[in-house]
Amino acid sequence: MDRFEAMSIFVAVTDGGSLAAAARKLGRSPASVTRAVASLEATAGEQLIERSTRRLALSEAGVRHLAAYRRVLGDLAELHAPSPDAAVRGSVVITGPELFGRMRVMPVVESFLAAHREAQVRLLLLNRVVDLVGEGVDVAVRLAHLPDSAMTAVRLGAVRRLTCAAPAYLAEHGSPARPPDLADHRCIGLNDAGTQALWRYREAGTRRRVRSVRVNCRLALNGAGAAIDAAERGLGIVRPLSYQVERQIADGILVALLEPYEPEEIPVHLVFRPRRADGSAVRAFIDHATPLLRRQFKEERP
């Protein structure tokens, strides 16, 4: 983590009022935020944050350093800000999950290219974690809880794992009342390893405690799109991500089941290397994509 990144984290800590709030806002782990503050304190040789009170408070040195950090970061932002008349040039390499990329990222890429005629985009839709440095990728969309890393992450929203089936299937076979009832139902697996799968659900009345339910998959596929198509035709119960069936549930083509047992949400982030974001096209894409993708998540959730 470089000095300027640590300064940005320190400013976020003071603005958010706590280390935890800053971690949530930045999409980082609390441990990485704590290390950033400790690194600045080690360099300064004095304590910047008083930790004896329940709410964060700056020491006298912290007040001075905060003012200096704001000036430095403001000057850097102004220095790197493109001229309003300057055209965005260069290429951006972006990656994301295949179906999410088609449904959510591709419209954003199209609007970005329409706004910046001299920019180029290479979009890699892959259902695996991509090594940004090793594979030369500038920006990634990640649907997962992120480990601590040197990457910068901007939270966009969250998705849920849903259990759903077509009305025709439910009319013939009934609806499961609890997750264990799935053992008596025809399930559609999103895996290519076999005909059994483990589906995770919260225990009733708890927020985080989850249990795995083993289901027998009469049909197993390695693609979410094909599995959802099969569920629409009444072949069984499927367990996709919420964004994948938003339209089908709104139109009554699929019905959500076992909603009180849904596990916790899965965060969605835009992840990029801090130094790569200084490039004209990369920075422009991040600034363009972030509000558009965030708006999609706000519109999806009732």
Asked if domains 3-80 and 90-156+266-300 share a fold, the reply is no
* pLDDT classification of 105: cutoffs 50, 70, 90: very high
Please give the Cα distance from 293 to 267 (Å, whole number).
13
Helix axes 60-80, 30-44, angle to 10 degrees: 110
The pTM assigned to this predicted structure is: 0.67
* CA proximity to 239, closest of 249, 227, 251: 227
Q: Domain segments of the chain: what residues?
A: 3-80, 90-156+266-300, 163-261
Region 254-260 average pLDDT = 95
Confidence (pLDDT) at 302: 44
* pLDDT classification of 229: cutoffs 50, 70, 90: very high
Please give the Cα distance from 110 to 116 (Å, whole number).
10
CATH of domain 163-261: 3.40.190.10
Among 22-36, 77-91, 251-265, 267-281, the least confident range = 77-91
CATH of 3-80, one of 3.90.1280.10, 1.10.150.120, 2.40.50.140, 1.10.10.10: 1.10.10.10
133-180 pLDDT, tens digit each: 888 899 999 998 887 666 788 899 999 999 999 999 999 999 999 999
**Which amino acid appears at position 294 of this protein?**
R
Architecture of domain 90-156+266-300: 3-Layer(aba) Sandwich (3.40)
Confidence (pLDDT) at 222: 84
Q: What is the percentage of the chain residues whose pLDDT exceeds 70? A: 88
Better pLDDT: 240 or 73? 240
CB-based burial label for 13 (10 Å; 0-12, 13-18, 19+): buried
Q: Are 91 and 120 in contact (CB under 8 A)?
A: yes
Please give the Cα distance from 260 to 258 (Å, whole number).
6
283-298 pLDDT, tens digit each: 899 999 999 999 888 7
Please provide the average confidence, as pLDDT, over all residues in the chain.
85
